[in-house]
Amino acid sequence: MIGRLNHVAIAVPDLAAATANYRDGLGAKVSAPQDLPEHGVTVVFVELPNTKIELLHPLGANSPIAAFLEKNPAGGMHHVCFDVDDIIKARDHLKAAGKRVLGDGEPKIGAHNKPVLFLHPKDFSGTLVEIEQA
- Is 38 a residue of the active site? no
Which is nearer to Co ion, 12 or 81 (by Cβ)? Answer: 81
Written as one letter, the residue type at 91 is R
Spatial neighbors of 117 by CB under 8 A, at least 6 apart, are 87, 90, 91, 101, 102, 103, 105, 107, 108, 130, 131
Which is nearer to Co ion, 5 or 28 (by Cβ)? Answer: 5
- The rounded distance, in Å, linking the Cα atoms of 90 and 87 is 5
Which is nearer to Co ion, 9 or 94 (by Cβ)? Answer: 9
List the catalytic residue out of 38, 47, 70, 130.
130
Output the smallest distance, CB 39 to Co ion, in A: 9
* 81 C-beta neighbours (distance < 10 Å), count: 23
Rule CB under 5 A: which residues touch Co ion?
A: 9, 81, 130
**Going by DSSP bridges, is the β-strand pair 128-133/115-119 parallel, antiparallel, or unpaired?**
antiparallel
Residues with catalytic function: 130
